[in-house]
Every structure is written in C-alpha cells, then in structure tokens.
Structure 1
C-alpha cells in the first residue's frame, strides 16, 4: 500500500532532513525528485517545512539544531506512547536527546541515541500521521542501520521498538532484517572498512526511484557525490549519494512494486 493515513507502532513512518542550508536542499531535492518544499509559516516552527510530491507529504526539512559541518537524514518510528518509549530507551542503555515534546497539534516526538552510536526518533501521531506516500518513486521505502556495533543494536532496538533481528539470505553477504511480527520493517548491516575512520553508526534512508541510473546522473549534475553507483542488490539496483550539504542517502529502483513500510 503506497498511500498511507497511519502507521502501526514500531513501523518507520517519517523521514526528515536536517540541513545546513534549507533553501539549497530544497533546490537540490526539487531538481532530482521533483519535490516542492512547503515551509510552515509560523516562527515557532523554526524554519521547518514539508517536501510534497503530487499533493502528498513525503518528507520533512528544517535547519540543523546546532551549526555543524554536514546535513543528515533522520528516521522516525511510529509509537502510541512517546513517553513510555523514551523510558524504554533509558532502561535499554540509550540516551534520550529530546524528551517527549508536543509539536503543535501534529503529534509528540522524542529523539535518542542508541548504545551503538546511532540516532533515531519516534513519533506519536496527532493530526500528522507520517508520510502520505511510501514505496513508490520519490518516496521513502526503506531504512537501514549502518552500525559499528551490531551486537549492541541487537540488544537495544528490540527493547525499544519490539523488533526482532532476522538474518537475511543475501548470497553470502551478512545482512539483518528488523522484523515486527512476520513483517520486515528495516535493515541492518555492519559498517564496512570503506567508510572514513570515525564515521558514527547511522540510519540510511532509501528513496524509491523509477530509474536509478538517471537519478544518479541528475544528482551528480546537481552537485551530489556518488559513493556507490548502480550496484545490484536483491531488492533492486541502488546508488548511495551524499547531497551538496553533506547528507547521505540512497536511491533504489525496486525490482517489485511496493515495499515493507
């Protein structure tokens, strides 16, 4: 199902971009995905806005909270109780970096750092339930934890989200799917030696595209760095990119329509 009006607890429901230059990011993603950035006209929104595709909200965008060297994509997982989730984070050895906070009438969010070093967030829906379009071209379709400590992640994320780690058959490549019941909702891979020293564990967002090679070329022309170009994987051909403001993301041409989100 591609158009969504809600998400079960434990399912990734939203992604947003923390950018060092929101206007430049809006131009870049508008060029490669055709998104329109609708900024929220309220000083209390702190410059936050919505990326919209064909009338559907597909992601968010806002300035980085602290001035830093690079932008980054954030993953939000649906919850029915943000306060209880934050408590589970602490009990599982994580650090709550944003206490549960109401966002206008839209919902309640909390953010945290896991023991493996990765950051994630949770969303308790109010008026805003999450992405209105997923698993179709230019919407998000998968989130993957790239971690330096898979063992720590395997202990932490099940305690917080109720996920179960399940080894996936990837023709000799070690990969883990995070499942909720029988449903795969996210992935995990150990960070390879190819990453620069000191790169922290992070969640990679994948966006579905109709033509991965054309999108990769368009992104490169718009100023992105290509980290992985047109590699085959069981779900489809993908590329890994870093946008001009430093946010890393992946695009994938799915072999089969739809997805697990």
Structure 2
C-alpha cells in the first residue's frame, strides 16, 4: 500500500459508550463486519467492508464517561513529533500525545484554533484505509467551525495544503488539496446554526442511496439533523447514530446543479 500523502485523511474512528450497540447500528447501516480488539488496546474494534478495513469503533474507557460519542478524523503525517510542534506553534493545542501505539504507528489528538478536535497518524504497521471513496467507506471530511480567520491560517501552516476558496450567498468553504487533489475542507457554520452544535470534524461516508441510508438510520433509532438534500457534490444527509455520534452519508453519483467556483 502506498503511503498516504501528508495532510490527507488516513483513518477515522468513533468513540461510543456501548460498543455492541455501535456494532449493530453500523453493521446494519453499512454492512460492516468487525474484528474485536484486544483488552491491552482497549477493545479497539476495526470495521471492514468487503474484507477491507474502513474505520474503527472504540468503547468509552474509565475516565472518559463525560466525553460525548463522536467520530474522529486522522490526518497522515510522516513525523508526528514535527506535526505536534507545528500545531502548537500556529495556535493549536495538543490534547493527547504524541504517543507510540505499539507497532501500529504513532498518534496525537489536537484542537485547532476554532475549537474542532482532530487526530494525526504516523503509520507503522497500520497504514490506514484499505477502502475509501466507495460505498460503505470514507468519502470526505470537513472541519466545521464558526471562527475562520485563525483556522484558515492554521491548517495550511501545519499541512502542505493548497487552498481553493468557495464563497457564495450560502456557502463559505475552503477545499484543501494535496498534490492538486482535494482531500478535505473547512466549512463555516452558518450564523443560524444552533449553539449546541460545536465546532467539529464532519465525516462523510459514501452510500449507494442516501434516502435508503436515512431510512435505515431512522429504523435503527438514530436521528436526522439535516436532509436528505441535493447538492452539486451529491445527495447527502447529516445524521446521528443511536448513541449521539454525528456523521454524514452521501451519494456522490446523484448530483444536482453546478459546483460553485
């Protein structure tokens, strides 16, 4: 497997208080199968689609009871120590690590100047996604924040991003590119966004039919925050699993309108 370029998303996982309930929900929604982790690694459970790893489910550990269920995104780094230094130098905060995770790699968790939490991963034996951009796997991610000036200066200083800015009367979006290819973005939360929606990284999973996926979320006692709705990038919806972790589903083949430039 080729190395993931620096700054590109390489992994996602979700922290859940009830691992078995999470396996049921995501197994039904995406058809994932699971390989339970060892006790030494907190029962960190990898999920697979068509035999290829796509993400992991992590049970809440002792001392994490107040941490809400949430998806986390990890950006690839060739040197997590150097990335940590750049994060701190440019106004971010390291929350955990850098730390070595046995032979699998090294990681850190950090908070950007706008308040969104993200991870960084330096690959060891665990290289990241074996499947992405296909149905039932990772498709996209956006850092959603209210304050943009410091955030827009932060990420290109930490990672080697080229930035494409998209502005119109409804959208304030920066698309980050590595080697000319879009890898993720920064989305400004609209002023009307409820106060309880905190700065966060929104992870998108590709589905074959957005409306069917949303119906499954509802059947499994999840909630729909927005959509389904059409866009130039695909028909999508923002949803919660039955434990409260937020994510999006998108059918990128069902597009409406022209993408803003």
Global fold match (TM > 0.5):
yes
Contact kept, 8 Å, 1:6 with 1:130, in 2: the verdict is no
2:46 to 33, 39, 50: 50
2-side partners of 1:190 and 1:225: how far apart? 23
Distance 2:53 2:132 in 1: 10
Moved more, 181-190 or 135-144: 181-190
The alpha-carbon deviation at position 84 of structure 1 amounts to: 0.5
Contact 2:5 2:178 (C-alpha < 8 Å) held by counterparts: no
Instruction: Give 3-state SS (helix, strand or coil) of 1:32's partner.
Output: helix
> Would you say 1:62 and 2:58 are equivalent positions?
yes
Runs (4 or more) in structure 1 with deviation over 3 Å come to: 169-172
* Change over 3 Å in CA distance of 1:93–1:69 after alignment to 2: closer
Q: CA deviation at 1:145?
A: 1.1
CA distance in 1, matches of 2:196, 2:155: 22
Cα RMSD (Å): 1.8
Q: 1:73 to 1:8 in 2, by over 3 A?
A: same
- Residues 208 and 89 from structure 1, CA distance in 2 versus in 1: closer, same or farther, beyond 3 angstroms? same
Over 3 Å counting, the alpha-carbon distance change for 1:185 and 1:225 in structure 2 is same
Determine whether 1:24 maps to 2:21: yes
Q: What residue is the counterpart of 1:149 in the other structure? A: 147
- The correspondence for 1:229, drawn from 227, 235, 245, is 227
Contact kept, 8 Å, 2:162 with 2:180, in 1: the verdict is no
Unpaired runs of 5+ in structure 2? 255-261
RCO (CA 8 Å, sep 6+): is it higher in 1 or 2?
1
Query: Residue in 2 aligned with 1:78?
Result: 76
Query: What's the TM-score, normalizing by structure 1?
Result: 0.91
Alignment of 1:166-185 (within 5 A): 166-168=164-166, 173-185=171-183
Match of 1:140 in 2: 138
1:39-58: CA deviations, max 9, x gaps?
11x22201211011111000
Q: Secondary structure at the match of 1:175?
A: strand
Residue 190 (1) aligns with residue 188 (2): yes
The CA distance in 1 between the partners of 2:172 and 2:186, in whole Å, is 9
Distance 2:232 2:52 in 1: 28
Q: Which moved more, 1:175-184 or 1:200-209?
A: 175-184
Listed as ranges, the gaps of 5+ residues in structure 1 are: 257-261
Deviating more after overlay: 221-230 vs 193-202: 193-202
On the 8 A contact 2:43/2:58 being kept in 1, the answer is: yes
Deviation at 1:69, TM superposition (A): 6.3
The number of residues matched between the two structures is: 253
Q: Give SS of 1:185's match.
A: strand
Aligned partner (choices 8, 11, 29) of residue 11 of structure 1 = 8
Give the Cα separation in 2 of the matches to 1:251 and 1:28: 14
